[in-house]
Amino acid sequence: MDPVLRSRLERIAWNHAQGSRDHEEQWSFLFRTEGAVSYMFFPLSGLDDWEFDGDLDGLDLPWSAKRIAEIEDGADLNDVELEQWRWAKCRALADGTDWTWIAWLIPLKIESQIAGYAAFLCAPEGDPSLQVVFQTQDEAEQALSKEGALRAS
């Protein structure tokens, strides 16, 4: 996307979002804009300070029963397994827990035509923040999926 257009769309998105901040339905721009979609989300970076605690319950991991038993008996995770655990934990936290964030993708129009999609993220106890503007909804979904677990809400 052209940097000038991206900058313009980011200003439009932020101004509309801020304009709805104090509405009766706070931040209504995010969920009342026609075509807006929301997802449950948890950023992988949210696990940066988490250590592996041995809890594997409910995690979708690609490990054999034998390897799970070894880990439950105290075996250390290798680097690949640690990354797999982080992503599995991330997916679990994006599944409607107290830790789950909300991601909104909002179509932005210029002259009645969709010119891009703004991605907003909101932590459980915070205000939404504009992440970036993407050319398409698919592009936004793919980018967010690389940053964390993205689930349909």
153 pLDDT higher than 90: no
- Structural domain boundaries enclosing 71: 44-93
Q: What pLDDT digit, counting tens, does each position of 114-148 carry?
A: 999 999 999 998 999 999 999 999 999 999 999 99
Indicate whether 29 and 56 sit together in one domain.
no
Q: How far is CA 5 from the centre of its chain?
A: 24
59 touches 82 (CB < 8 A): no
Question: Are residues 114 and 102 both part of a single domain?
Answer: yes
Q: How many domains does the chain have?
A: 2
Residue type, 41: F
The single residue listed with the structure tokens 């490990």 is 63
- The residue type of 48 is D
Q: What is the mean pLDDT of the chain?
A: 95
